[in-house]
């Protein structure tokens, strides 16, 4: 796994960080983006400790970080990152510290018992059912090629109809066509889940395949760019940006908002929260529970419009 070492760290610490990250990826199935975020967080922490203490630190000294050192680091981080990002950084630091303490037989209680900053979790921003339907009808309509319009429609339908992440939709290969009644999806951290395929989604993908000018071999990407290569996610984001401007939708109408819409509309229709968790591939039910807050907020909005205060 390239790019895990940091040239600005002492060689021993850089090697230790690289080894820990490789373990996260290999044994715990951490996603590549997560590994990279943790690398940045922990590297910044280690460089801060070195500067704060006035010299290079060994692995045992890192595990014995004092409460004063930790508070100084968190105060420095607060000046340029959000409380949410700092909470993630602290989680990464705790993970590395626990690993370092185990390696050096050191007591790391101070770091492991530290509490992160409180932050309010952002609620998902789904589209209304009408807006989601309008997006599926409009996306790609400005493309010069009909097959590209069909491609963008198929991808958007997978996001909204199956609740896929854009990376998951774009990871499908020619072997996945025609879409089966149940699709096996590999999501974050290499976790797999089974997702029922709606007829509308199967039809949208079939329409795209029928018009695609490229040979879709089983091992090749299902969705192709104009020159035949894999589709860059940015192309779909741009198509949605243009569509939302035509439709007068807010800037939150992104590809991921279609996945949020899938979950919110399913919950509104009486879907079971744990079933929705399975469909989305959430590791924790608490992540899925955010949609209950969205549903409650929408219900209150409707109530207030129907019963205006005097």
User: Nearest Cα to 139, choosing from 235, 233, 234, 239?
Assistant: 239
Contact yes or no for 52/73 (Cβ under 8 A): yes
Largest CA distance in the chain: 69
User: Nearest Cα to 128, choosing from 239, 282, 250?
Assistant: 250
Dihedral sign for Cα atoms in the order 173, 175, 179, 181: negative
The catalytic site residues sit at 165, 188, 256, 259, 282, 291
What is the enclosing helix (H) or strand (E) of 193? Answer: strand 192-196
* CA distance readout (Å), 197 to 149, 161, 180: 21, 8, 7
Q: Tokens 């999806």 correspond to what residue?
A: 185
């Amino acid at each position: 796994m390239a790019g895990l070492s940091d040239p600005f760290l002492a060689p021993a610490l850089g090697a230790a960080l690289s080894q820990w990250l490789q373990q996260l990826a290999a044994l715990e199935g951490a996603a590549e983006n997560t590994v990279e975020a943790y690398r940045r967080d922990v590297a910044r922490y280690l460089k801060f400790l070195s500067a704060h203490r006035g010299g290079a630190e060994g692995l045992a000294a890192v595990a014995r970080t004092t409460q004063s050192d930790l508070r100084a680091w968190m105060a420095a981080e607060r000046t340029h990152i959000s409380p949410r990002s700092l909470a993630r950084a602290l989680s990464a630091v705790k993970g590395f510290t626990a690993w370092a303490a185990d390696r050096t037989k050191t007591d790391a209680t101070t770091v492991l018992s530290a509490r992160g900053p409180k932050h309010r979790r952002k609620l998902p921003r789904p589209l209304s059912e009408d807006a989601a339907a309008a997006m599926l009808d409009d996306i790609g309509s400005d493309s010069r090629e009909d097959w590209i319009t069909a491609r963008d429609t198929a991808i958007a339908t997978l996001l909204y109809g199956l609740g896929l992440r854009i990376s998951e939709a774009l990871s499908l290969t020619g072997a996945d066509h025609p879409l089966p009644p149940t699709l096996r999806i590999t999501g974050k951290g290499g976790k797999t889940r089974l997702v029922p395929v709606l007829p509308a989604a199967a039809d949208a993908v079939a329409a795209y395949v029928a018009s695609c000018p490229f040979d879709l071999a089983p091992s090749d990407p299902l969705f192709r760019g104009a020159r035949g290569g894999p589709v860059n996610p940015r192309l779909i984001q741009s198509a949605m940006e243009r569509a939302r401007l035509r439709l007068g939708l807010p800037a939150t109408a992104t590809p991921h908002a279609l996945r949020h819409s899938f979950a919110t509309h399913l919950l509104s229709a009486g879907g079971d929260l744990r079933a929705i968790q399975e469909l989305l591939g959430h590791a924790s039910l608490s992540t899925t529970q955010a949609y209950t807050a969205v549903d409650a907020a929408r219900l209150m909005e409707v109530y207030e419009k129907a019963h205006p205060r005097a």
